[in-house]
Structure 1
Amino acid sequence: MDPISDRLKARHPQRIDLSLGRMQALCAALGNPQDRLPPVIHVAGTNGKGSTVSLIRSIAEAAGLKVHTYTSPHLVRFNERIRLAGELITDDHLNAILDRVEDAMAATGGEATVFESTTAAGFLAMAETPADLAIIEVGLGGVLDATNVIERPLLSVITPVDLDHAEFLGTDLAGIAREKAGIIKAGARCVVGRQSEPAMDEIERRAQQVGSPLTVLGVDFDAWSERGGLAYQDQTRFLDLPAPALSGAHQFDNAGVAIAAALELDLPEEAIANGLKNVFWPARMQRLTAGKYADMAKAADAELWLDGGHNPHAARALARVLGDRHAKAPRPLTLVVGMLSNKDAGGFFEALKGLDAHVIAVPFEGNATEPETLAAVAQGRGFGVTTAANVDEALKRALAMDAGRILICGSLYLAGEVLGASPETWPR
């Protein structure tokens, strides 16, 4: 078990409650650390936030900058959420910071959710640790997310907006985009990933309201795969760069957004190239090559992949990646899938149904969909299905069926369990 997660669960409400009043009061009691951060890049969106954060960080660090990051959720240890000048925060440091957050709450008679308290802790730790840049990922939505107490970002970034967290954000795409666009602030340029028309309309409306200039992928700049590398072009330059070290065509879009942000920071082309080559972000079409599960696959001459995507938009990206890989190197495909019960399993499998794959449904610790229920949804989309009690059993069954390519997917929580069992593969 993770001791920091255990501490937070014991002391703070687990609910998600989108509002800013508690967070503003807590930050005020701590001396408003969010106003003492290094220059901030604030990142919102439905998919690609974490990959984009990791790409910008990798580029900035290649340029010699010291970079803080705040991301969520974590995969194995809570400390993954807070990176100070390039290093994960230690247990001792995080516990000491959380003590101060809880003392501030007690002094004001206030309350804070887990995400609010840890966001405040992240801001406090970052404000007190020297760095050149802070990259802050929105947790949920934008307007009322706890990170949106940041009033003066250097840059805002919005990655693709799609449907997810319907119980909090609804199912109206324009309304979801309106929430995400709430991080756009007066005077700060916003770099925008590729969007649907309803989402882009809302982003443009917010930018006009606050007077924020936009730089939009597919309009002001573009990025694409070319001759094994990445081509980037905007209105003044063309860059011939290495492909990002993250699998999937969608990562070229994420890399394009990161490059546009890096160019706003005047980072050199050499740093951009090195950052793309060296970026690492676990559980995003990650090839597992070490640990007990990888060893099982290797013994059967099978590929083993891991991805935490959990909504239809992410599944569409997975379908493209797997389809491209099959076209280049055909191998029998098995999907080991576990999903939270509040996710759109039907939409997820609908996006994957063009694949010739067998599905093995598994549970994981937490509010997971029962494997039998998940298998029935997959079967309804035309997949052959099996259930298993855990990932170990699922891999044994897949390998017994001569699967040559296995993808474990459907939830970051499931991905965290897999990485936790294979410490050689999880975040560095």
Structure 2
Amino acid sequence: DLAVMEVGLGGRLDATNVVDAPLVSVITSLSREHWQRLGPTLADIAREKAGVLKPGRPAVVGPLPPEAAGVVEARLTELGCPVVWPTPAVPLENGQARYGSGADVITYPLALLGEHQLINSAVAIAALHSLRHQGWKISDEAIVTGMGKARWPGRLQWVTWGQDAASYPLLLDGAHNPAAAEVLRQYVNSWWASQPVKSLGTAWLMGMLGTKDHGDIFAALLRPGDTLHLVPVPGHETAAPEDLAAIARSLCSDLAQCQIHPSLSDGLVALGHTPSQLRVLCGSLYLIGHFLATEPYRNCP
């Protein structure tokens, strides 16, 4: 059997270090997240994340900002780790993608939405190829099947919320840090570009934790004419919706509306009354988790 172990925070001091000789270590991406504990710069954060690298053990590393890449490269050299830096997969028609070269080239379905899945899937397949080169029997057919069955609740997940005539399509995404917000914005832009009707602005329903970079997240997402509904994140150290509203208005003074609601349920009802073709719930993985656990919804095909 194989175990996939995800680091909880950082890497250097994480409990996953009990595994001192991993089959392969993976650093998918890196951004200014958890900087209060990992350090204020990308180089500081990279230094902590590089703690997953072990002497002489293979590594797969996705694209990193230059400031972070230099730190990781130095650690790879110091530890003598053989490393693969995958390039993004090539998008094909009908939701397919191709990654690799020579005997390792593979065409597979992209079940997850978003252009960023081209690099995410490439990193995953590069890790599988590393295992295969170490003697693990992992067929292309198994990889294709696994990629086609991949699901990631709360990340660019389309659902229908509500009952009967009051129901509406809703896009769920954590977008809990600026980098994730940029990814969501990229998808929203592509969604609007694919629509035959004129945009009425995106309708956002958001809540955030108090520790997040609220201004940077709003700056990535909000555009003039958008509508913003704000709610608290239940059960966690939430940012006050009133404070978030002040930040949002200062960054995007041309919002069509900015409203505050006492609960997620109230916000969802108000969101349904907003005249927009695109409604998005985002800002916190905890908020998304609360939605999935408590609200009436069904997955869209």
Q: TM-score, normalised by structure 2?
A: 0.89
Name the CA shift for 1:419/1:305 in 2 (closer, same or farther; >3 Å). Answer: same
Task: Compute the RMSD of aligned alpha carbons.
Answer: 2.0
Name the CA shift for 1:180/1:423 in 2 (closer, same or farther; >3 Å). Answer: farther
- Aligned-partner Cα distance in 2 for 1:182–1:144: 7
- 1:231 matched to 2:98: yes
Q: Which residue does the alignment assign to 1:283?
A: 154
- Aligned-partner Cα distance in 1 for 2:295–2:209: 22
Q: Partner of 1:303: helix, strand, or coil?
A: strand
Contact 2:50 / 2:75 at 8 angstroms: preserved in 1?
Answer: yes
Contact 1:375 / 1:385 at 8 angstroms: preserved in 2?
Answer: yes
Deviations 1:376-420 (A, max 9, x none): 111122134111111221122122122322111111110111011
1:44-193 alignment to 2 at 5 Å?
Answer: 132-193=1-62
- 1:369 matched to 2:239: yes
**Which structure 2 segments of 5+ residues have no match?**
133-137
Name the CA shift for 1:356/1:169 in 2 (closer, same or farther; >3 Å). Answer: farther
Q: Supply the AA of the counterpart residue of 2:183.
A: A
- 1:391 matched to 2:264: yes
Contact 2:12 / 2:50 at 8 angstroms: preserved in 1?
Answer: yes
Q: Which residue does the alignment assign to 1:360?
A: 229
Residue number among 380, 383, 386 corresponding to 2:250 in the alignment: 380
Residue number among 192, 195, 203 corresponding to 1:326 in the alignment: 192
Name the CA shift for 1:224/1:374 in 2 (closer, same or farther; >3 Å). Answer: farther
Q: Supply the AA of the counterpart residue of 2:15.
A: A
Percent of aligned positions with the same letter in both sequences? Answer: 38
> Bigger CA drift: 334-343 or 416-425?
416-425
Shift of 1:424: 6.9
Shift of 1:151: 0.6
Q: Which residue does the alignment assign to 1:421?
A: 294
Shift of 1:362: 0.6
Deviations 1:66-99 (A, max 9, x none): xxxxxxxxxxxxxxxxxxxxxxxxxxxxxxxxxx
- Aligned-partner Cα distance in 2 for 1:269–1:355: 46
Q: Which residue does the alignment assign to 1:242?
A: 109
Q: Partner of 2:3: helix, strand, or coil?
A: strand
Q: Supply the AA of the counterpart residue of 1:229.
A: Q
Shift of 1:300: 4.9
Q: Which has the higher helix share?
A: 1
Q: TM-score, normalised by structure 1?
A: 0.63
- Aligned-partner Cα distance in 2 for 1:349–1:148: 35
Count of residue pairs the alignment pairs up: 286
Q: Partner of 1:281: helix, strand, or coil?
A: coil
Shift of 1:140: 0.6
Contact 2:62 / 2:85 at 8 angstroms: preserved in 1?
Answer: yes
Shift of 1:149: 2.3
**Which structure 1 segments of 5+ residues have no match?**
1-131
- Aligned-partner Cα distance in 2 for 1:339–1:278: 30
